[in-house]
Structure formats: structure tokens, C-alpha cells
């Protein structure tokens, strides 16, 4: 599984949105590291589905394997998302 490290969130977002993440992945998961916090992304294969009489096509995309953790939120946003920490 490829490991990607970024300290600059804007650079990370640009990396994720580039074509190298949108092509057919060699692995179905990728780990990104934002300011030292690792986060696993999972590839969802695109395809077509029918809703009523219409058919829609969805391109493949990457999504977080889990919800955003408080640690990841702090790494990206620089703030604490809750008062319970």
C-alpha cells in the first residue's frame, strides 16, 4: 500500500485530485499522512446504476476508510472539533 506524506494540506488535496489518483489503482487502499496523522483512503470502483428509467454513470473515487478522527481534524484544521478531548 503506497504511503504519502504531506505537511501542507493544500498540496495533499491537489495530490488526491490529480489524475494519478483517478486512474485505475494498483492497490485498493492508500495511506496518506497529514502533519504526522495517517489516514487510509479506499478506492470505490465506478459503474452504472439505474434509477427509475434513467441510467447514471459514476466515476471511481477515493473515500476515507473510517470517519475523520479528532487527531486528523486537528492535523488538517488546526483546531479541536469537540470539547470532550
- Per-residue pLDDT in tens (0 to 9) along the chain, 85 residues: 455 565 666 666 666 666 555 555 667 888 888 888 888 888 888 899 999 999 999 888 888 899 888 888 888 888 877 666 5
Assess if residue 25 is contained within a domain.
yes
pLDDT score recorded for residue 1:
44
* E strand or H helix that includes residue 35: none
Assess if residue 83 is contained within a domain.
no
Q: What is the domain count for the chain?
A: 1
Distance (Å, rounded) from C-alpha 7 to C-alpha 5?
A: 7
Cell of 6: 504531506
- Domain of residue 56: give its range: 3-77
Assess if residue 70 is contained within a domain.
yes
pLDDT score recorded for residue 25:
62
pLDDT score recorded for residue 50:
93
Distance (Å, rounded) from C-alpha 49 to C-alpha 27?
A: 24
Distance (Å, rounded) from C-alpha 71 to C-alpha 15?
A: 21
Cell of 61: 473515487
Distance (Å, rounded) from C-alpha 13 to C-alpha 9?
A: 6
Amino acid at each position: 500500500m503506497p504511503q504519502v506524506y504531506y505537511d501542507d494540506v493544500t498540496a495533499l488535496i491537489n495530490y488526491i485530485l490529480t489524475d494519478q489518483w483517478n486512474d485505475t489503482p494498483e492497490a485498493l487502499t492508500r495511506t496518506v499522512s497529514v502533519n504526522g496523522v495517517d489516514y487510509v483512503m479506499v478506492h470505490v470502483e465506478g459503474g452504472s446504476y439505474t434509477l427509475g428509467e434513467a441510467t447514471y454513470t459514476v466515476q471511481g473515487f477515493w473515500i476515507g476508510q473510517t470517519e475523520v478522527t479528532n487527531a486528523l481534524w486537528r492535523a488538517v484544521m488546526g483546531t479541536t472539533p469537540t470539547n470532550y478531548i
